[in-house]
Amino acid sequence: MTNAISPDHALYWNDSLAEELLHFLTRRLRCPDTAAEITHETYIRFCQTSKATPVNNARALAYRIALNLAVDYQRKAKIRSDRAVDVDFEAFAESFESTEAGPEQAAIAQENLTTLERSLMELPPDCRNAFLWRGIDGLTYLEIAARLGISESMVHKHLTRATAHCTQRMKESG
């Protein structure tokens, strides 16, 4: 019985194939950076697959891996965009501004601000800070995540919680 020699992935993967995949993915994803990342991940998975099983059609295998990775990326991107909290903080703040200078409007605006402040103080510190940093300082999810030492997903959860909490308290008060 002869020893099976594992195929050398270098025999199957070359610069031409990599450039072809990069071009294909760039057209599909419309983002050269993401396409480059997925091309790299395709190469890694291609190497793993070619070590485990013989490759009959390297080009077809590489395209299948790249396409699967691109579809996964697009699904995750859609989920992230569907879950994004896009609060118009300026409109939110303007809702507390008085359009009339009368004492009654000023009292209502002050009461709303007090309710909002109380609502924010009821939140955990990280949740409150994320809300304020996003709304007042205009920080991105990534910047907030770095400041708090948490994931962007957790920042999203904090913002969702803070927005829902403050909205509920404002409805209860008025």
Per-residue confidence (pLDDT) for residue 2, from 0 to 100: 38
The contacts of residue 27 (CB under 8 Å, 6+ apart) are none
Tens digit of each residue's pLDDT (9 = 90 or more) over 87-100: 666 666 666 655 55
Per-residue confidence (pLDDT) for residue 101, from 0 to 100: 60
Same structural domain, 132 and 61: no
- Whether 3 is covered by a domain: the verdict is no
Residue whose pair of structure tokens reads 């909490």 in the numeric block = 165
The contacts of residue 133 (CB under 8 Å, 6+ apart) are 139, 143, 144, 147
Per-residue confidence (pLDDT) for residue 165, from 0 to 100: 87
Spans of the chain, pLDDT less than 50: 1-7
Same structural domain, 69 and 144: no
Calpha distance 66→143 (Å, rounded): 31
- Whether 30 is covered by a domain: the verdict is yes
Calpha distance 12→96 (Å, rounded): 64
Per-residue confidence (pLDDT) for residue 82, from 0 to 100: 67
Same structural domain, 69 and 100: no
Per-residue confidence (pLDDT) for residue 87, from 0 to 100: 63
Residue 32: domain span:
9-83
* Count of domains observed in the chain: 2
Per-residue confidence (pLDDT) for residue 97, from 0 to 100: 59
The contacts of residue 160 (CB under 8 Å, 6+ apart) are 85
pTM of the model: 0.47
